[in-house]
A and B are shown apart, each in its own frame.
Chain A
Amino acid sequence: MTVHFRSTTLLGGIALAASLIAAPAIGQEAYRIGALNPVTGAGNTYGSGMQKSIIAAAAEVNAAGGAAGRKLEVLAEDGQTSAEPAVLAAKKLIEVNKVNAILGTWSSSVSLAIQPMTLASNIILMHTSSAPTLFTQNQRNLDWGFQSGSKYNGRAMAAAVKKEGFTKPAIMSFNNDAAINNVGFFRKAWEAAGGKIVAALTYEPKRTSYRSELQKVLAAKPDVIALSGYLPDTTIILREAYELGATAKFIIPDWAAGPALLKALGPDVSQGVLVYGTVPNIAGAAFKTYSAAYKKALNTSGEENVFGAQAYDMVISLALAIEKAGASADNVAIAKEIRAVSNPDGEKVTSFAEGKAALKAGKKINYEGASGPLDFDEDGNAVADFALFTYDKGQYVKRYLLQ
């Protein structure tokens, strides 16, 4: 029976090692947040920034005396943008670190995989994923989506395409859940308004060339191509489209754009590429606080990471909800207050300290976040303002707000 002996000693070894280095002494009142972010894997462009933003926001809350007197404590994990490691990480956060909330899961696959665990343990989950199932399984309002879902992305794209006067759009989508849903909702919105899609195609990641894909789409002579993908494939596709002399314009989401795309393509190729995205409230005070913290932690501009601002807002709105619900409130009671501190009809506040003071004074508040106004719809999905951006002579410029 060596089998048993060995496996139990090994398990015992894990247990011992874990108990020696388990979470540091925790005060009774601390509210523990698990930052489960895509530090590696497909979401790596954003993960570190999200994690640092969560830590910075928690520090800000603690500096203002904590939420309802409870200090926030952040435990960071790498979800690896992959379901299985994320499940193990979430399990560790929940069972070993005893977190009260998990913040900043990014891809739908990760959020879908850990949602049953967080629901079963009454843990608040704040994510940036868009899979429709995530919202339908959210019966107790414990789950909150901080990234405007596919529905809103699709509508924004349709609005932009219409406003720019295009009549023959084509669709190209990266083969994953989020990208397919984005263009799917674009198609829905566009066809509902009586429009027609001239060509639609789903492409696979990690190809060395997308020439035949482009050839197929361009054969339908579209005047604009709604391209839903990520930075590496978007870089290659836009470059090849230029090389092939395509005249159709492209409209792409902001997470595949930004300064990195400009750097990769240069001013000529990027000229006139349309970018839709949610507008962080750049002029707002919350964004300035976030941006300063981001710059300090990562030495790059927070504007480059839309999910960083969302991760920052997760902590602030959660802390305000704790503040409102009171020190002894459980997660269900806290989650109930998320809408109450974020949605309209209250005094607009732009920081935790400001909100805390207003709440103390007995006022209703409406947190205006770094990532947007942060008003949640009936599904618990934040509805943000969208805008159209473009590249013009090597500059990334905002054109106008989308309705």
Chain B
Amino acid sequence: MTEYINLVIAGTVQGLVIALAALAISLSFAVARFPNAATGDTMTVGAYVAVLVQAATAGSLLAGSIAAIIVTTLVSVACYFLVFKKLERRPLVASLIASIGIAFFLRSMLTFFLGFEQHVFQIPISRALNFSGIRIIPIDLWLSGIAILVLAATFVLLFLTPLGRRMRAVAADMDLARASGIRSGRVMIALWAISGVLSAVAGIMVGIKTVVTPDLGWDLLLPAFAAAILGGIGSPGGAVLAAILLGVAQEVSTPFVGFTYKIALSFVALIAVLIVRPAGLFGQPERVR
């Protein structure tokens, strides 16, 4: 039993790390209506800025995080203005392909100037709290706390503010939203800014849990997409829940399927769910185009 509880904990933490990325993807998916492949590399940019600024400011993670959030927000909004805004009225493949191009470009700039060496956040490493065999690692508690805080803030923004209402209106039907006087341009900027902030936080979390390398975000893209779709596009809560579910399912499955097939498991789960519910677990069927 303890074994499974520990696996659930391991899966939950992994799920939470991916949840923020999934949320960022889900948001831009819902409003901009294409899967943004540049999200992963925006995360990487955030992780790099944070780890480098932390090293330059004698270990201040806060300074690093603030710098990272500023940079990724700028990157994200710049992507919108320079590229995605111009592709708004075109088939979604145009934006998808362009986002892959941006992903490659961002990564190439990182490796051009910083090389491929791994960087590590300076975080004190401490032993797990042990509740008769059930182990909780303090840093995981911190990360979970931050993830929950960020998720809560996003929810408040989306569901309790006028801006959030406008965002959801644009997501539901851009033309109708325009017709009812919503200035969709501003809404889009806000959306891309939020997605940038989320990317930075997600990148930093992954960087703290693992090591910062140029592939950090790109490698998480597919699991994050899987969670976003499984959760149902336009359902940010679904994306988060799906990420955690996938994380837990993966780890709990390891005693049965081993440590290689567990990776395929989340993709199999994605396909299986989509066969039954083409709109995802928490998506609304009528929104399927």
Name the distance in Å between B210's Cβ and chain A's nearest Cβ: 5
State the CA gap A175–B127 with chains docked (Å).
28
Does B265 sit within 8 A of A, measured CB to CB?
no
Are B125 and A245 touching (Cβ within 8 A)? no
Residues in A whose Cβ lies below 8 Å from that of B118: 231-232, 235, 260, 264
Are B14 and A239 touching (Cβ within 8 A)? no
User: Which of A45, A212, A264 lies in contact with B251, CB distance below 8 A?
Assistant: A212
Residues in A whose Cβ lies below 8 Å from that of B255: 216
Residues in A whose Cβ lies below 8 Å from that of B13: 209, 211
User: Which of B10, B11, B115, B127 lies in contact with A245, CB distance below 8 A?
Assistant: B127
State the CA gap A236–B260 with chains docked (Å).
18
Select from chain B the residue with minimum beta-carbon distance to A216. B254
State the CA gap A53–B137 with chains docked (Å).
43
Given contacts A45-B116, A204-B263, A236-B211, contact A209 B10 (CB under 8 A): yes
Does A138 sit within 8 A of B, measured CB to CB?
no
Name the distance in Å between A134's Cβ and chain B's nearest Cβ: 25
Are B125 and A268 touching (Cβ within 8 A)? yes
Are B259 and A209 touching (Cβ within 8 A)? no
User: Which of B18, B126, B254 lies in contact with A212, CB distance below 8 A?
Assistant: B254
Residues in A whose Cβ lies below 8 Å from that of B215: 206
Select from chain A the residue with minimum beta-carbon distance to B122. A266
Does A208 sit within 8 A of B, measured CB to CB?
yes
Name the distance in Å between B59's Cβ and chain A's nearest Cβ: 12
Does B88 sit within 8 A of A, measured CB to CB?
no
State the CA gap A112–B6 with chains docked (Å).
41
Does A265 sit within 8 A of B, measured CB to CB?
yes
State the CA gap A231–B211 with chains docked (Å).
10
Are A263 and B18 touching (Cβ within 8 A)? no
Does B226 sit within 8 A of A, measured CB to CB?
no
Are A244 and B137 touching (Cβ within 8 A)? yes
Are B126 and A243 touching (Cβ within 8 A)? yes
Does A281 sit within 8 A of B, measured CB to CB?
no
Q: A234-247 interface mask toward B, CB cutoff 8 Å, 1 = contact, 0 = none? A: 01100110111100
Does B175 sit within 8 A of A, measured CB to CB?
no
Does B220 sit within 8 A of A, measured CB to CB?
yes
Q: A253-289 interface mask toward B, CB cutoff 8 Å, 1 = contact, 0 = none? A: 0000000100111101100000000000000000000
Are B259 and A203 touching (Cβ within 8 A)? yes
Select from chain B the residue with minimum beta-carbon distance to A240. B137
Residues in B whose Cβ lies below 8 Å from that of A216: 254-255, 259
State the CA gap A213–B211 with chains docked (Å).
18
Name the distance in Å between B243's Cβ and chain A's nearest Cβ: 12
Are A215 and B7 touching (Cβ within 8 A)? yes
Are B137 and A243 touching (Cβ within 8 A)? yes
Does A1 sit within 8 A of B, measured CB to CB?
no
State the CA gap A263–B55 with chains docked (Å).
12
Are A212 and B7 touching (Cβ within 8 A)? yes
Does B277 sit within 8 A of A, measured CB to CB?
no
Does A119 sit within 8 A of B, measured CB to CB?
no
The count of chain B contact residues (Cβ–Cβ below 8 Å) is 37
Does B17 sit within 8 A of A, measured CB to CB?
yes
Select from chain B the residue with minimum beta-carbon distance to A234. B211
Does A44 sit within 8 A of B, measured CB to CB?
yes
Name the distance in Å between B159's Cβ and chain A's nearest Cβ: 29
Select from chain A the residue with minimum beta-carbon distance to B118. A232
State the CA gap A356–B32 with chains docked (Å).
69
Does A11 sit within 8 A of B, measured CB to CB?
no
Does B173 sit within 8 A of A, measured CB to CB?
no
Given contacts A175-B260, A212-B251, A264-B120, contact A243 B127 (CB under 8 A): yes
Q: B2-16 interface mask toward A, CB cutoff 8 Å, 1 = contact, 0 = none? A: 010011001101100
Are A208 and B209 touching (Cβ within 8 A)? yes
Residues in B whose Cβ lies below 8 Å from that of A242: 125, 127
State the CA gap A245–B6 with chains docked (Å).
14
Given contacts A201-B259, A232-B211, A242-B125, contact A208 B14 (CB under 8 A): yes
Q: A142-175 interface mask toward B, CB cutoff 8 Å, 1 = contact, 0 = none? A: 0000000000000000000000000000000001
- From B11, B111, B137, B219, name the one whose CB has the most chain A CB atoms within 10 angstroms: B137
Are B254 and A245 touching (Cβ within 8 A)? no
Name the distance in Å between B185's Cβ and chain A's nearest Cβ: 36
Residues in A whose Cβ lies below 8 Å from that of B254: 212-213, 216
Residues in B whose Cβ lies below 8 Å from that of A204: 259-260, 263
State the CA gap A219–B125 with chains docked (Å).
22
Are B135 and A244 touching (Cβ within 8 A)? yes
Does B130 sit within 8 A of A, measured CB to CB?
yes
What are the 9 A-B residue pairs with the smallest beta carbon separation, nearest first?
A211-B10, A44-B116, A264-B120, A243-B137, A212-B251, A206-B219, A232-B211, A212-B10, A212-B254
A sample of 19 cross-chain residue pairs with beta-carbon separation below 8 angstroms, ordered by A number, consists of A209-B17, A209-B209, A211-B6, A212-B251, A216-B255, A231-B118, A235-B118, A235-B120, A235-B211, A236-B211, A240-B137, A243-B125, A243-B137, A243-B139, A244-B128, A245-B135, A260-B117, A263-B120, A268-B125
Tell me the B residues contacting A by CB distance below 8 Å: 3, 6-7, 10-11, 13-14, 17-18, 111, 115-118, 120, 125-128, 130, 135, 137, 139, 206, 209-211, 213, 215, 219-220, 251, 254-255, 259-260, 263
Q: A243-B137, A244-B127 are in contact. List 20 more A-B contacts (CB 8 A).
A: A40-B116, A201-B259, A204-B259, A204-B263, A209-B10, A209-B14, A209-B17, A212-B6, A212-B7, A212-B11, A212-B254, A213-B259, A215-B6, A215-B7, A216-B259, A232-B118, A232-B213, A236-B209, A239-B125, A245-B130
